[in-house]
C-alpha cells in the first residue's frame, strides 16, 4: 500500500470507528458486532504502526469510546476505567498465556469469570456509605449516575461485615434479566417507542434515564467484578472479591480459580452452553491474573491491563438457503433488504428472516439467489447473514440486485453521499412514510394519543380513513365502529384521546409535526423563542440560526418544511381543530419568576418528573444546570438528593428548596 492510499484508508477507518463508538456508547444502538468492530480497529492499528507518520493522538485507536451525555454531571475516575483486549480462539489465548508467563516473576493462578453483557459502573464507598457512582464515560471521567444506581436493590447503600476499607471502589456490570428485557420491549412496542436491540442496550439506556423512579422499576442487577482501594484486605483478586461478597455485594458464583491455561480452556468450554441457562446475557469469559503483585508487575498498556484478557464466545451460526430478498421501506424512507430463508433452528428459535443492512452488504457478500448462507445471532435480536458457502453455489443462479425504485410507491430511490442506506424521496405520499409520520405524531412524547397504536393506524390507513395526521381529527365514531377488531368502546376511547390531544402544549405539537432534525429538545428551544407557529414560519435563516443550538442544518430543514404547501395545509387544518400553535402562558407554570436564575435539580420527585421540572424552570425564564457552582441560584431537591451536590451546596451556602417550596414560588401571585 502506498502512503497516500494508507492515509486515505486510515481516515475512513477513523471516521467509521468514531461513528460506531457513538452508536455503541451514546445511542446504545450498535450496528455491528464486537467482532466486526475489532476487525476495523485492528486494521487501523496495523496501518498506524506501518505508517507512523499518520499517527494522531485523537485517533480512536488511542482511546476507549465514551458514553458521556451532557445531562449528567461528570467526575474523574480515581482509577481509570480501561477496557480489555479480546481473543476469539484458543491460539490467541495461549499467546496471552505465554506473554504473561514470560513477564511474571513467579507462578500464579488465573481467575476465570463470565463476561456479563451490560453497562459497567464504578461505585465508590466512603466510611461504609455509597458515595458516588459513575459510568465508564471515556475511561478517565464518567457520568454521575448515583441517584439511578441507588435504585438498584443488589447494590448496598451502606456496607456490612468486617475488614472494610475506609474508602473503596467496586466495579461491576449493570445487567437486565432477559425476561425483564422482553417485557419492557413489549411495553415499548405497544407505546410506539423503539424497542431495545438487546438487554445490554436496555441496561445502558436505563442507567442513563433522567427519572430515577423509572430506573427503579426496571429490575436491574449489578454483578461486581473488581474492588479497588489503597487498603485492600487480601493479596489476591479472588479473595478480595470474596470479601466484597461479605460486605453485601452480589459477586457471581461462577468465578473459578484455574492453575494453568488448560484449566482455563476447560472453564471456557464448560460455560459455553451452561451460560445460556443464566438469567442474564454473557458474551465471553474474562481471564485475570489472580495475584495482585503480579498484576502490578505486568501493568497496563494505554488501553487495557496486560494481566487480563477477554475470550469472546463465537455467536451461534447456522447454514441455510436464501430463498428471496425483500426490500422494506421504513418510516424515514430508508430501504432495508431482508433475506427470506429456509427456516432453520438457531440458538433455540426458528429463523426465517435475516437483515442484510444495505446495498454494500449485499455486494460484499456477492449474494446469489439460492445461495447457502451462514446466519448468525449475535447480541442483537434480528439475525444477520455473515457469509456464503460457495461450494453450494449454482452457477446459473441470479445475483441479487438492489432495487432501483421504491417497492411501496415506485419512486426512484436515492442514496446520499456518505450515507449507507438508499432512501425513497417520496416523503409526502409513500405509504410507510405517511404511516410512520402518523405514528410519530401520536406517540407519547408528541401528541400522546393513547388508544391508537401501530395496528390501528394500519387499519385506518388500509380502510382509507386517514392519509395524514390531520385526518385523525376528522374521524367520527360511526366510521370506526364497523372496523374489524374495533368495537364501540375502543372507538369511543380513540375519539376521546384524539380530542384530548388539542390540549398538548405548543412545543410538543412542534415536535409531533416530524420536521427533520427537530427533535424534542430543538422543539422546546424553538417554542420558547418563537411564541407562535406563525412567527416561526416567518423567521428567516438568520433569525433561526441566531437561536442558541440552532445551526444551518436545522434552519434549512425548518424553512424547507414550511415552504411545502402540503405541510402548510396540514398546519391550517390542525389549527382549525384547535391544536395549540402558540406558547401557552398558563397558570403559574409559565412566567418570568425565575428570570436570570440558574437552578440545579437533584433527587426523586413526587409531583412532577425531573423532565417536567426542567421544563417548568425554562418556561419561567430560568436555566437548568447539572452542576453546583457559585453561579447556582438554588437547588430543587427531591428525595435522595445526591450527597456530592448537598456537600457542595453547603460549602457554597446555596439554598436547597424542596418540591413544595419550589412550586409555591412558581404558583404564587
**Cell numbers standing for residue 61:** 485507536
613 by Cβ neighbours in 10 Å (0-12 / 13-18 / 19+) ranks as buried
CB of 81 to ligand IVH, least distance (A): 7
Minimum separation from the CB atom of position 300 to ligand IVH (A): 8
Provide the 8-state DSSP code for 516: T
Cβ proximity to ligand IVH, 171 vs 614, nearer residue: 171
> Could you give the C-alpha distances from 164 to 71, 216, 232, in angstroms and in order?
33, 27, 8
Beta bridge partners of 324: 340
Distances from the Cα of 599 to the Cα of 398, 588, 616, angstroms = 64, 18, 11
CB of 335 vs ligand IVH, minimal distance in Å: 34
Q: Note whether 367 binds ligand IVH by CB under 6 A.
A: no
Among 260-268, 305-313, 506-514, 519-527, which window interacts with ligand IVH (CB under 6 A)? Answer: 305-313
- Position 138 contacts ligand IVH (CB under 6 A): no
Provide the annotated active-site residues: 115
Cell of 97: 498465556
**Counting contacts by CB under 6 A, is residue 120 touching ligand IVH?**
yes
Strand stretches in 411-512, DSSP E = 422-423
Instruction: Number of residues interacting with ligand IVH: please give it, by CB under 6 A.
Output: 14
**Of positions 286, 460, 571, 649, contacts ligand IVH by CB under 6 A:** 286
Q: Is 155 in the site for ligand IVH (CB under 6 A)?
A: no
Rounded Cα distance, 655 and 634, in Å: 5
Contact flag: residue 123 with ligand IVH (CB under 6 A): no
Q: Where are the alpha helices (DSSP H) in 318-453?
A: 359-365, 431-442
Which one of the spans 210-218, 302-310, 567-575, 603-611 is the region binding ligand IVH (CB under 6 A)?
302-310
Return the range that interacts with ligand IVH (CB under 6 A); candidates 110-118, 271-279, 445-453, 554-562. 110-118
* Cβ(512)–Cβ(561) below 8 Å: no
Q: Is 83 in the site for ligand IVH (CB under 6 A)?
A: yes
SS3 string of 79-126?
CCCCCCCEECCHHHHHHHHHHHHHHCCCCCCEEEEEEECCEEEEEEEE
Cα gap 509→94, rounded to integer Å: 60
Q: How far is the CB of 121 from ligand IVH (least distance, A)?
A: 8
Give the shortest CB-313-to-ligand IVH separation in angstroms. 13
Angle at 489 between CA 484 and CA 490, to 5 degrees: 55
Rg of the chain over CA atoms, in angstroms?
28
Q: Does residue 597 touch ligand IVH according to CB under 6 A?
A: no
Q: Which is nearer to ligand IVH, 112 or 322 (CB)?
A: 112
Among 113, 138, 408, 618, binds ligand IVH (CB under 6 A): 113
Cell of 488: 364501540
Measured distance CA(620)–CA(590) in Å, rounded: 5
Q: Which is nearer to ligand IVH, 14 or 256 (CB)?
A: 256
Please report whether residue 356 would count as binding ligand IVH according to CB under 6 A: no
Q: Which is nearer to ligand IVH, 75 or 423 (CB)?
A: 75
How near is the Cβ of 10 to ligand IVH at its closest, in Å?
Answer: 24
Cα–Cα dist 71/208, whole Å: 9
Neighbour count for residue 117 (Cβ, 10 Å): 20
Closer residue to ligand IVH, CB minimum distance, 120 or 443: 120
Q: Are 290 and 305 in contact (CB under 8 A)?
A: no
Window contacting ligand IVH (CB under 6 A); options: 35-43, 80-88, 213-221, 371-379: 80-88
DSSP 604: B
Please tell me whether residue 173 binds ligand IVH under the rule CB under 6 A: yes
Nearer to ligand IVH, 223 or 656 (CB): 223
- Name the DSSP letter for residue 54: G
Q: Which stretch binds ligand IVH (CB under 6 A): 114-122, 377-385, 482-490, 652-660?
A: 114-122
Q: Looking only at residues 313 through 342 of this chain, which bind ligand IVH when binding is defined by CB under 6 A? A: none
Cell reading at 265: 480452556
Nearest distance from residue 268's CB to ligand IVH, in Å? Answer: 13
Stretch that binds ligand IVH, among 115-123, 432-440, 566-574, 619-627 (CB under 6 A): 115-123
Stretch in the footprint of ligand IVH (CB under 6 A) among 13-21, 108-116, 628-636, 660-668: 108-116
Tell me: does residue 10 bind ligand IVH (CB under 6 A): no
Per CB under 6 A, 305 contacts ligand IVH? yes
Distances (CA, A) of 504 to 158, 232, 366, 443, 570: 44, 56, 50, 12, 17
Least distance CB 415 / ligand IVH (angstroms)? 35
Query: Which residue number, 37 or 402, has a Cβ lying nearer to ligand IVH?
Result: 37
Chosen residue from 84, 215, 244, 362 binding ligand IVH by CB under 6 A = 84
Is 232 a residue that touches ligand IVH (CB under 6 A)?
Answer: no
Contacts of 164 (CB under 8 A, 6+ apart): 125, 128, 247
Of the two residues 292 and 559, which places its CB atom closer to ligand IVH in the complex? 292
Stretch near ligand IVH under the rule CB under 6 A, chosen from 111-119, 392-400, 416-424, 492-500? 111-119
3-state class (DSSP) for residue 196: coil
Nearest to 120 by CA among 174, 63, 200, 178: 174
Question: In the complex, what is the shortest distance from the CB of residue 568 to ligand IVH, in angstroms, rounded to a whole number?
Answer: 50
Q: Which of 44, 39, 35 is nearest to 9 (CA)?
A: 44
226 binds ligand IVH per the rule CB under 6 A: yes
SS (H, E, C) 307-337: CEEEEECCCEEEEEEEEEEEEEECCCCEEEE
Q: Is 225 in the site for ligand IVH (CB under 6 A)?
A: yes
Give CA separation, 591 vs 76, 171, 521, 605, in Å.
38, 45, 20, 22
Q: Which is nearer to ligand IVH, 34 or 376 (CB)?
A: 34
**Residue 246 touching ligand IVH (CB under 6 A):** no
Rounded to whole angstroms, the Cα distance separating 630 from 652 reads 7
- Rounded CA-CA distance 87/96 in Å is 9
CA distance 561 to 541: 13
Cα angle 377, 379, 142; round to 5: 165
Which residue has its beta carbon closest to ligand IVH? 120
Using the rule CB under 6 A, is 308 a contact of ligand IVH?
yes
User: Any contact of residue 306 with ligand IVH (CB under 6 A)?
Assistant: no
- Residue 83 or 493 with smaller CB distance to ligand IVH: 83
Asked if 179 and 426 touch (Cβ cutoff 8 Å), the reply is no
Name the DSSP class of 25. I
φ and ψ at 239, to 5 degrees? -65, -40
Closer residue to ligand IVH in complex, CB, 37/181: 37
In whole angstroms, give the CA distance from residue 391 to residue 373: 11
Q: In this complex, which beta carbon is closest to ligand IVH, that of residue 113 or of residue 618?
A: 113
Told to check if 116 binds ligand IVH by CB under 6 A, we report yes
Least spacing, CB of residue 281 vs ligand IVH, in Å: 11
93 near ligand IVH, rule: CB under 6 A: no
Task: Give residues in contact with ligand IVH (CB under 6 A).
Answer: 82-84, 113, 115-116, 120, 173, 225-226, 286, 305, 308, 310
Amino acid at each position: 500500500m502506498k502512503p497516500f492510499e494508507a492515509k486515505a484508508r486510515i481516515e475512513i477507518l477513523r471516521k467509521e470507528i468514531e461513528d460506531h463508538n457513538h452508536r455503541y456508547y451514546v445511542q446504545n444502538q450498535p450496528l455491528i458486532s464486537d467482532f466486526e468492530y475489532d476487525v476495523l480497529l485492528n486494521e487501523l492499528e496495523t496501518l498506524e504502526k506501518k505508517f507512523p507518520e499518520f499517527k494522531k493522538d485523537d485517533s480512536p485507536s488511542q482511546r476507549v469510546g465514551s458514553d458521556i451525555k451532557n445531562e449528567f454531571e461528570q467526575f474523574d475516575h480515581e482509577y481509570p476505567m480501561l477496557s480489555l483486549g479480546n481473543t476469539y480462539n484458543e491460539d490467541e489465548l495461549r499467546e496471552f498465556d505465554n506473554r504473561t508467563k514470560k513477564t511474571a516473576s513467579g507462578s500464579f493462578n488465573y481467575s476465570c469469570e463470565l463476561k456479563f453483557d451490560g453497562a459497567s459502573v464504578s461505585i465508590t464507598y466512603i466510611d461504609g456509605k455509597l458515595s458516588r457512582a459513575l459510568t465508564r464515560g471515556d475511561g478517565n471521567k464518567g457520568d454521575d449516575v448515583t441517584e439511578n444506581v441507588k435504585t438498584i436493590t443488589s447494590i448496598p447503600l451502606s456496607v456490612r461485615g468486617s475488614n472494610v476499607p475506609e474508602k473503596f471502589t467496586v466495579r461491576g456490570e449493570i445487567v437486565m434479566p432477559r425476561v425483564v428485557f422482553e417485557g419492557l420491549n413489549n411495553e415499548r412496542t405497544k407505546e410506539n417507542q423503539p424497542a431495545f436491540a438487546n438487554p445490554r442496550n436496555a441496561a445502558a439506556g436505563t442507567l442513563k434515564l433522567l427519572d430515577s423512579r423509572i430506573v427503579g422499576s426496571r429490575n436491574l442487577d449489578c454483578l461486581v467484578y473488581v474492588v479497588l482501594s489503597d487498603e485492600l484486605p487480601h493479596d489476591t483478586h479472588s479473595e478480595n472479591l470474596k470479601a466484597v461478597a461479605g460486605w453485601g455485594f452480589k459477586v457471581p458464583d461462577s468465578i473459578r480459580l484455574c492453575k494453568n491455561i488448560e484449566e482455563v480452556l476447560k472453564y471456557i468450554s464448560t460455560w459455553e452452553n451452561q451460560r445460556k441457562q443464566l438469567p442474564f446475557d454473557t458474551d465471553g469469559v474474562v481471564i485475570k491474573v489472580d495475584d495482585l503483585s503480579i498484576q502490578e508487575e505486568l501493568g497496563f498498556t494505554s488501553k487495557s491491563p496486560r494481566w487480563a484478557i477477554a475470550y469472546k464466545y463465537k455467536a451461534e451460526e447456522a447454514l441455510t438457503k436464501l430463498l428471496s430478498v425483500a426490500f422494506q421501506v421504513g418510516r424515514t424512507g430508508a430501504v432495508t433488504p431482508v433475506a427470506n430463508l429456509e427456516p432453520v433452528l438457531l440458538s433455540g428459535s426458528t429463523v426465517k428472516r435475516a437483515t442484510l443492512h444495505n446495498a454494500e452488504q449485499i455486494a460484499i457478500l456477492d449474494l446469489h439467489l439460492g445461495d447457502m448462507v451462514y446466519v448468525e445471532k449475535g447480541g442483537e435480536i434480528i439475525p444477520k447473514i455473515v457469509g456464503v458457502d460457495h461450494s453450494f453455489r449454482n452457477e446459473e443462479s441470479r445475483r441479487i440486485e438492489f432495487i432501483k425504485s421504491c417497492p411501496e410507491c415506485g419512486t426512484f430511490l436515492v442514496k446520499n453521499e456518505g450515507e449507507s442506506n438508499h432512501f425513497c424521496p417520496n416523503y409526502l405520499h409513500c405509504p410507510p412514510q405517511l404511516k410512520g409520520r402518523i405514528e410519530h405524531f401520536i406517540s407519547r412524547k408528541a401528541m400522546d394519543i393513547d388508544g391508537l397504536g401501530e395496528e390501528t393506524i394500519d387499519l385506518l390507513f388500509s380502510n382509507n380513513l386517514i392519509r395524514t395526521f390531520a385526518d385523525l381529527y376528522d374521524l367520527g365514531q360511526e366510521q370506526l365502529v364497523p372496523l374489524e377488531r374495533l368495537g364501540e368502546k375502543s372507538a369511543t376511547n380513540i375519539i376521546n384521546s384524539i380530542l384530548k390531544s388539542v390540549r398538548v402544549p405548543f412545543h410538543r405539537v412542534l415536535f409531533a409535526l416530524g420536521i427533520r432534525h427537530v427533535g424534542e429538545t430543538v422543539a422546546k428551544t424553538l417554542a420558547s423563542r418563537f411564541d407562535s407557529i406563525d412567527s416561526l414560519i416567518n423567521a428567516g435563516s438568520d433569525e433561526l440560526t441566531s437561536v442558541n443550538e440552532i445551526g444551518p442544518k436545522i434552519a434549512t430543514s425548518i424553512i424547507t418544511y414550511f415552504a411545502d404547501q402540503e405541510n402548510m395545509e396540514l398546519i391550517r387544518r390542525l389549527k382549525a381543530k384547535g391544536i395549540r400553535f402558540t406558547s401557552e402562558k398558563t397558570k403559574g407554570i409559565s412566567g418570568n419568576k425565575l428570570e436570570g436564575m440558574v437552578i440545579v435539580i437533584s433527587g426523586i420527585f413526587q409531583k412532577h418528573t425531573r423532565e417536567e421540572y426542567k421544563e417548568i424552570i425554562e418556561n419561567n425564564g430560568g436555566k437548568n444546570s447539572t452542576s453546583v457552582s457559585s453561579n447556582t441560584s438554588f437547588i430543587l431537591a427531591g428525595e435522595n438528593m445526591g450527597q456530592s451536590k448537598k456537600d457542595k451546596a453547603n460549602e457554597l451556602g446555596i439554598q436547597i428548596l424542596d418540591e413544595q417550596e419550589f412550586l409555591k414560588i412558581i404558583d404564587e401571585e
